[in-house]
Chains A and B, each alone.
Chain A
Amino acid sequence: MDAGIGIHQVALVGSPNSGKSSLFNVLTGSRQKTGNYSGVTVEKKQGTLPGIDGQRINVFDLPGAHSLNGKSLDQRIVSDLLAGKLLGEEVPNLLVAVADASNLEKSLGFVIEVQAIGIPMVLALNMFDLAESRGLQIDLNKLESVLGCDVIPTVAPTGKGVEELVARIQSRLPELENYQAKPSSLYSTPEAVFSRVDEILNLVTINKIHSDQFSKTLDKVLLHPIFGLPVLGLVLLVMFQSIFAWAEPLMNLVEISFETLGQSITQVMPEGALRDLIVDGAIAGVGSVIIFMPQILILFLFIIVLEESGYLARAAFLLDRVLRKFGLHGRAFIPLLSAHACAIPAVMSARTIENHRERLVTILVSPLVSCSARLPVYALLIGAFIPPKEIFGFLGLQGLVFFALYLTGLFAAIVMAWALRHTVVSGEESVFILELPTYKIPSIRNIAVGLWIRSQIFLKRAGTLILSFSILLWFLASYPKAPESYAEPAIQYSFAGRLGAVVEPIVRPLGFDWRIATGMVPGFAAREVMVSALATVYAIEKNADGKELEEDEVESLLGSNISRDWSIATGLSLLVWYIFSPQCLATVAVIRRETNSWKWAGLYFFYALALAYLASFLGYHIFLMAGLG
């Protein structure tokens, strides 16, 4: 409310399918940061625009909402913030209402509801090109005068109209230093809202929009009662196959870069503890995780494209019946799919589910889905224990196993949901309403911004968490130094070896040796650290054996090292462990934050631990009986 400090707040409001976030990306570019609204865990995306007076304008993207009276957490945040009831958050000086021009019959409803609050507003009629191509003609001047606010047609993907929108924002702000919001209840019922919308549209429409034939035709196939599901299965299969196939050249590139880096440091630096720390600890550890970045980015690429195209909502429609049987909401498909990338955004995206119990169950089971941090572990173990055979001449066996692991995680999640819904979180299902937007070609900019933000998060993690664990583990694995007379490999004398020895008896029934036990301890903090931990353990062990260590062996031979040292049953048992095991610490923390209770975070941790132990134990003994020992 206090405009005196000179920083103006501009907020984007609109429904989830209005292209609001897309417009926000164009307005702020990659200069955006994400945070939370104070007191709640709804993501707050912020960026800035230059003002004409040289002051910064803060722009933020409010969560998508259909109505000010909605029940979901996202919608309540929007209505509370605009009414000045969200403690610690300022009421924006100016709103940019974003409406889907190709569906004004619906999108204008929320616009006039918001406008009634009394905050000055500019209306962006987004996706105006699509609307025009479907025959829409409206009298924009008349719309401006009827609504009493500026109306600007925009096309977020091409940036059309955005310059004008920015100019309008800049020129409007100075006159809004001290406005008085006057909350109104003019449009308190949906009937009143929509009859006003019809009234307005009757006045301004010159030519009505015709329906989107492209979406209609596509839906005949994609939503077909019989073919719809096989097509969805095919889409997901292609997605997981590509992760293995496309990523390989890029992964080789990353591998060569880290090898070269390690070699040049070995040549330049004098022998000693510091060189060991850098080459064996830092480079071997971080390198063995960064190598999986191409796969993680391809996974995110698919998820962003599926979401932007409008197909993700269709998948939720197709799967609602199945998910409902397990006590989940069709909308839970979105967290469950996002969890393939990372459990943290998945747990957070569950807040679009309005019913408290259905939301809670979705949160508790989403981390069972195999996230991208499990990719390094899966990829290493599959590479080491599954032969690169072809089935039917075109399907790779490795890709297929990979797909099976993901399916198992997903299956475990929904079975667990059923179990939870019949025990600790029982209660009736809520209303299910899902908008199926028209199909759209995803904008390159949104994909780029999305991938950019994801890479930043991943690299930051590799640079901080994984780097520090790698160094810590290198230290634990190197000290104390074994005396000359010590007959066993030196690492068994070190702290890490001793820690591994303590854990080993507990995990021996699962087929794990002390090296795996050593890697599992830091692996609880983050799954991918397991791989760098193993790389560190093996690199050091070989050094201590007195063999001349080839630099490329540090990382690239980790796979052949473990396929030589472990039985297939052990390798597969570890794969099973990583499908279920509770991880990472950040996920447990985010569950605690989203549910506001340690009870639920603890429930997740212990049920997942028990599940992992049981499944690994059974798996190991089945594989042994199958003669894979």
Chain B
Amino acid sequence: MRESESLAELKRHGLIEGETICLRHQAPFGGDPIAIEVRGGLLAIRLSDAQLIMVEPI
């Protein structure tokens, strides 16, 4: 339930299949949340939500 909600919200912010993303910053205290570059903007997300995103290095 929570996962599908998170996934929908991530998609609405441009995190959809095929996008190129880039890890830019990690917050103090263990690097959570993180800031990633998506579709030309900077987006902060928590690691627990970031786990829902499948990435492959390019």
Contacts and interface: CB of A to CB of B under 8 A. Distances in A.
Interface in B9-37: 9-14, 16-17, 24-33, 35
B39 A105 contact: yes
A67 interface: yes
A436 B27 contact: no
A433 B39 contact: no
B16 A433 contact: no
Interface string B21-58: 00011111111110100111111111001000000000
B30 A321 contact: yes
A223 B35 contact: yes
A436 B42 contact: yes
Contacts of B17: 191
Contacts of B13: 66, 106, 433, 435
Contacts of B6: 431
Interface in A184-239: 189-191, 194, 209, 211, 215, 219, 223, 225-226, 228-229
Contact of B44 (A104, A109, A432): A432
Contact of A105 (B10, B31, B40): B40
B33 to A, nearest CB: 5
B7 to A, nearest CB: 9
A353 to B, nearest CB: 13
**Residue in A190, A313, A431, A437 whose Cβ sees the most chain B Cβ within 10 Å:** A431
Contacts of A189: 11
B40 A432 contact: no
Nearest to B34: A317
Interface of A: 66-67, 69-71, 103-106, 109, 189-191, 194, 209, 211, 215, 219, 223, 225-226, 228-229, 313, 316-318, 320-322, 324, 330, 354, 428, 430-438
27 contacts: A67-B12, A104-B40, A105-B41, A106-B39, A109-B14, A190-B11, A191-B17, A219-B24, A223-B35, A225-B27, A225-B28, A320-B46, A321-B28, A321-B30, A324-B46, A354-B9, A430-B5, A431-B6, A431-B49, A432-B44, A432-B45, A433-B9, A433-B10, A435-B13, A435-B42, A437-B41, A438-B42
Which 3 residue pairs spanning A and B have beta carbons closest together?
A: A190-B11, A436-B42, A431-B6
